[in-house]
Amino acid sequence: MTERIESSESIESSGLSEALKKARLQKKLSLVQVSETLKVAERHLAAFENEPLNLTVLTPFQRGYLRNYAELLEVSLQPYEADLQGQPELESSLKTIGQQPSQLMKLTNTKILLSLLIGVIAVLIIYSLLSGI
């Protein structure tokens, strides 16, 4: 096996992207081989190698892909752990459900009460017809 790249100087001087590419080439692996091994799209791996990485904006999946890639290539991410721990702010168009369940509950309760009322009326009508009242 090749030696693990752990020196923060070697990673920082050439950049993480360059360290990943260099380690992959030293192991004589193609992007296709790594992609098949890790079950990660080749385009993700190529982006890690060819683009300057802003680790603070990676999605959780991308951070996982990067960690797995670095582990396979035996590249230490220790100098970057602080940046990898950062959680990106997630935006969502979803509304809180605090108001919706109460409206849904009212509608459900109304349907149940209406069904019970119809059932009671039906039972009374049948009882009155059978008893001759």
Q: Where are the domains of the chain?
A: 8-85, 97-133
User: Would the pLDDT of 29 be above 60?
Assistant: yes
Tell me the fold of 8-85. Answer: 434 Repressor (Amino-terminal Domain) (1.10.260)
Question: How large is the average pLDDT for residues 84-91?
Answer: 59
Question: How large is the average pLDDT for residues 17-27?
Answer: 91
- Residue pair 39/71 in contact (Cβ under 8 Å)? The answer is no
Cα–Cα dist 30/4, whole Å: 18
Q: Which residues of 39-68 are buried (b: 16+ CB within 10 A; e: fewer)?
A: ebeeebbeebbeeebebeebeeebbebbee
pLDDT of residue 2: 42
Question: How large is the average pLDDT for residues 82-96?
Answer: 61
pTM metric for this prediction = 0.55
pLDDT of residue 132: 76
pLDDT of residue 80: 77
